[in-house]
Structures are given as C-alpha cells and as structure tokens.
Structure 1
Amino acid sequence: MLEKKGSIFSVREDLKVFDCTIRDGGLVNNYHFTDEFVKAHYEMCVAAGIDYMEIGKNVSPTIMSEEEYGCWNFCKEKDIRRVIGDNNTALKIAVMADVGRTLKEEIPPKDESVVDMIRVATYIHQLPEAIDLIEDFHAKGYETTCNIMAISKSFDDELDEVLAQVGKSSVDVIYIADSFGSFYPEQINKLTGKYLEVAKASGKQVGIHAHNNLQLAYANTLEAMIYGTSFLDVTVSGLGRGAGNCPMELLVGFLKNPKYKLTPVLKFIEEFIVPLEKELDWGYSVPYMITGKLNEHPRPAMKARDEGDTQYVKFYNKLTEEYS
C-alpha cells in the first residue's frame, strides 16, 4: 500500500517542475519557434520559479533535415546560447535525446555546454542503446533521465525487467511516460509504486510525463506526485503533441511552495499562447480521446484533425476494427 508523501498543504523540497513546452510543443510545428518566443518563454520560466526548461531535442543534423525542422530540433550550443546566454539563473536547461537520432560523439562535455540535463527517450526494445547513451552523458557530467515510452503496450514482466536494468545504470531520474494518454489514476498509482521501488533501491528519483487524451494529464500528474514522484512534466496551456500535456498553469496554481509564481505564466499565455492558438492545433478533442481510450498512438487522430474530419462514429468504428 503506497503512502502519501506530505499533504496538499506541505512544501516538498524534492519536487521539481519540469517545463517541456518547446520540446513537446515543437512536435506540433516542427520546432519552428522564433527566438523571441523561446527567449520570452525562458524568461517566464525564470520568473515563475520553474526548475527545469527542456529547450528542445539534440537530434543529429545528419539524421533529420535542418531545412524541414527548426533549430530547436537540434539544439546546437550556439543556438541555445544565442537565446539564453550563459543562463546565470537557478533554472536548469535540458534537452531530449531520442535513441537512434542522437549521436553521442556530437554531445560536448558538460563543462563546455550550457545544458544541465539530457533526457533519453527510448522504447523498450531500444534499451541497450539508451543505457549506452545514458552512461556516456553521465560520464560527460550531465544529469540524466530515462523516459521509457509506450509502457501501456508492455507486459508486467517485461516492464519489471526493463526497470531492473535502468536501476543498475547511472541515470538520475526514471520517468513514467503515458505516451498515448491512456492511463487512469489507478494505473498511475500502481506504476508509481513499481517505479519508486526500483528508484529507492538504487538512489534515483521518479518523474511523470502525462498526455491529455482522456483529460487526465493533470489528475495523473497529481496522483503520481501525491505518492512520491518528484519530477513533474508540464507545458504552458498544455502545448504539446496531439492532445498535449499537463498544463503548467494548473500545477503551479496548485503547488503551495511560494517559489512558484503563477502571474508570469499567465502573462506569457496572454502575450504568446493566445496568438499561437490561432495558428496551431493542439489539446483535447474527440479523436484524441478515442485513440487514448483504445491505447493507440495519436497519429490517426492527428490526421483527422489536420483534415477537419468530424465523422467521429466512422473514425471510432474504423479504429476499433483495425485494432480488434
């Protein structure tokens, strides 16, 4: 039986609010955020007391086209420094490394970079490569996480074995990733217990990255937090792939730690997100709900949204036939 960690009125020093707006939001517009947008977002994170800002991915330009994708898909040192300088603030900067798209030889030592943390995103079958990246980044001086994706498609024994291997690595944080936005709080509760057991035994922490297909990203984040998860992923206004993520403004408004400030977040939404909503499509919708309910990747829903398809019964029947 899991015990609650603290109360809703307590301040927990282990909690870290982790912003993914540019990285997860970049999946909506192929990382074509302007320098003005990213700089304003960075300044908002500093003013709001956010602990980490994930400024993008460090995909190798030899693997994905720099003509098709914006610079935040590659996060070259010169581009990051152009916007945030040397980052002489309490905010830590993170990037994400996708297994198979990030080349470790292109990643400089930590003392040559303004980046503090590298998060390694991996599917279960890629785990050996993920651990190889983690060990390399750790040896170079970075904080690291392991974000194991699509765990809703795994079997219990398989996930147990994966967690055991990750627990033996040098990684700092192990992430519960609800890739398809298909988990309910009861399931997140059980996963939190499973991940914490491994993390505590190996001196690591646990994080959660939730998607909002079933409008449960916020609820699932709180559930994981209440029972001991420390790293809490958010994006401003839920900006992220498909149905988006746990909204920063909801979590910052909930936490009782006075270091977190809501006003800078609201100001950024007012000035930058409201105009962006007229250009980009993200957030809860019926097609995303259906893929979440069916525990499937949101690709079909993204296609339906792009095409303006509102034949929801036909969409649902088609998917249930395909996945039955």
Structure 2
Amino acid sequence: MDHNGLTVLDCTLRDGGYYSNWNFDTALVEEYLAACPGLGIDVVELGYVRFEEGRFGPYGQLPEGLTPNLADALPAGHRLRFAVMVDGTDLVALPAAEVGRELKRKLEPGSLPVHIVRVAVRYDKVAGVTGAIASLREAGYAVCLNLMQIDLATADEVTSCLADVVAAGPLEAVYIADSLGSLRPDRTAALVRLFQDGQQAAVGIHAHDNQGFALHNTVTAAGAGATWLDGTVHGMGRGAGNTRTEQLLAVLGDGPERLQPLMDIVVRHFHPLMDKYRWGPSGLYALAGMRNVHPTYVQRIEENTGLSADEKLSALGFLAQASASAFSPALFDEALAHARV
C-alpha cells in the first residue's frame, strides 16, 4: 500500500497449511485478517483451490474456509486484494477452456472476493498451462505464475521458460519460487534480472528459509527489481518456512507501533503453532537446500522421531545422491530402509 511501489503478499493460510493440513483456528484467522490492512499488506492468499477432492482442511480446499465471519472481521474501507493458488498439475484434468468458469463456480459461495489466481507450475511445464491461464483471464482473474524449482534451470532452460511465459500472455506477476530452499542471493538477483528483462509482467519472489536466506533473498530480489514480495506470519510454511512477514515489513520501514498488532498475533497464536509443528531452519533443511532435496523429505524424516541423528543424515545423503528434487513416497521409504541398515 505504501512501500514505494512494492506489493506485499502474505500467504500464511496457504503455505502454513502444509503443517496444519490447512486447518486454522477461527480466532487466529479473524485477528489476522483484521490486522492485515493496517500493516501495509496488499494481498492475502487465502489458500488452495483443488479440482479433485482430498483430505485437506478448509483453507486447502477453498471455498470451505471462506465463511461469513471472515468478511465481518475485516475493517470497513479496507483495500486488501485476495488471492488463491491452484497447482498446475491439477489443471491437466480439466479442459483448459473450462478452468476459469470452473474456478469461478467453485469460489462463488465464498464470503470473500478473489481477485488473483496464482498458478504454481514447474519452470519447464509452463507451456502446458497457457490455455488454463487464458481461461482464468477470461473469467476476470488477474493471474500470477509461480515458477517452481526455477533454481534448477540451466541457462538454456531459463531462455525456454521465458519464451513460454511470454506466450502465456498478460500476467499480473511472474514469481521466482525457491521451492527447494536452494537459492542464494547472487542467483536470486540474476534470475530476477533475467525475468525482468525477458518479459513484461512484474517479477515476484517467494523464498524459503532452508539455508537461512529467505529474508536476504527477498531483499536482494527487491534490489534487483522484483516488486511482488511474499511472506508468511512468523515464517510458517512448507519445510523450513518462508520469509517472515513481520521481518519483511520491518525492513520495508514499518515501525513498532504499526507492527504491534501483528506481533500480538505471533505471540498469541503462532508461538503455540511453532511449538507444535517446529518449522524453521535446521541443519537438515540447510543440507537439503544445498543438495536440491525436496523439503517434504526432511519434514517426514523429522516426523520419524525414532531415527538417530546418524540415520537422519544417512537418509538425507541417500536422497541427495538420488537427485530427489520431487517428493516420492516410495523413494522416501527406500531412504529410510537405507538409513536403518
């Protein structure tokens, strides 16, 4: 709202859901939404829309979570925009031309208006979702494209990805998504400049904190020209978590009085959640980020409380040798069996 042309997007309800299965206490969500407009947050991502049923909580299969009390919690005259995320792999089950209409039909019962749809797709699969993106635009949505695992792309693959992004037509923003927590600041800046120069949309950054670089990468991206910056409250997000919204806002100039309502929410609601779920940087997450191992493997390893430290390291070493940048339950089981030998 007033961060010198930057758009701050908070995706706590979406990315944080990887720990809570997209279940959040009603009081937390109401207090969070009530506070966001006064914090200089521009966009709130409300969760996932799925095109196939699954065992997800209400913010993982919208519009279930979009109950009337949420609209009532928002202050009058707020200027928030609301986003949802769809997984590009879910779109292949639908005829591309029907995606926009089907999404609108799904979201119609929800109490909050959705302005932006973020399509998460691996950097080399963009061409497969261009029809769906066109359909979403025709349905009236602004579309952001989140380029998953972009740090793995070679120079030629980045060039090919840029061509596919241009072919997708007008976009609200194109995101450098640090899916594996593997990005380092120099690579972040280089990718931002490539996407800023190679296509017309604004460039965004979605950072993960495996190596402790989430905030650093976000600030570096902004310095290189990115104008859409993601964060989550207290960093709650998949694997090691994300850039902490409260820290990002402080770096952007928000002072103690403006941040106080958010810090109250952190202490009341997110400290207990962190005690329960234990997201955040660790030695294993750092190693996974360095070796391009998907963070879900580390999350599952940590859930196996009977594993010794050496067994955890052995499992992760096996996964690194297996180039495990995508999560596979079968490969995870194989890694555990290897570690327990």
TM-score range, shorter chain: 0.7 to 0.9
Alignment of 1:1-324 (within 5 A): 13-60=4-51, 63-65=52-54, 68-76=55-63, 79-85=65-71, 89-101=78-90, 104=99, 105-108=101-104, 114-168=113-167, 169-199=169-199, 202=200, 204-256=201-253, 261-308=258-305, 311-324=308-321
**Structure 2 contact 124–157 (Cα < 8 Å) conserved:** no
Aligned residues: 305
Using structure 2 for the length normalisation, give the TM-score: 0.83
**Structure 1 contact 237–249 (Cα < 8 Å) conserved:** yes
Runs (4+) of structure 1 exceeding 6 A deviation are: none
RMSD (Å), alpha carbons: 2.4
| Structure 1: unaligned runs, 5 residues or longer | 1-10
Using structure 1 for the length normalisation, give the TM-score: 0.87
**Structure 2 contact 124–161 (Cα < 8 Å) conserved:** no
Structure 1 residues 139 and 74, CA gap change in structure 2 (3 angstroms)? same
Q: Which deviations, in whole Å up to 9, do the C-alpha atoms of 1:94-151 show, x marking residues without a partner?
A: 1001113255242118996701111000113432332222211111111110001011
**Structure 2 contact 235–280 (Cα < 8 Å) conserved:** yes
Residue type of the alignment partner of 1:249? E
Residue type of the alignment partner of 2:60? N
Q: Which deviations, in whole Å up to 9, do the C-alpha atoms of 1:198-253 show, x marking residues without a partner?
A: 23xx2x10000000000000000000011210000000110001100000111111
**Structure 1 contact 211–244 (Cα < 8 Å) conserved:** yes
Q: Which deviations, in whole Å up to 9, do the C-alpha atoms of 1:264-321 show, x marking residues without a partner?
A: 2101101111222232221112211111111110122112211236744443344334
Q: Give distance in 1, aligned partners of 2:129 and 2:69.
A: 29
Structure 1 residues 318 and 100, CA gap change in structure 2 (3 angstroms)? closer
Q: Give distance in 1, aligned partners of 2:202 and 2:21.
A: 31
SS across alignment from 1:73? coil
Deviation at 1:159, TM superposition (A): 1.9
Residue type of the alignment partner of 2:192? T
Q: Give distance in 1, aligned partners of 2:152 and 2:173.
A: 21
Q: Give distance in 1, aligned partners of 2:295 and 2:71.
A: 36
Identity %: 30
Q: Give distance in 2, aligned partners of 1:51 and 1:215.
A: 25
**Structure 1 contact 55–94 (Cα < 8 Å) conserved:** yes
**Structure 2 contact 144–173 (Cα < 8 Å) conserved:** yes
Residue type of the alignment partner of 2:160? E
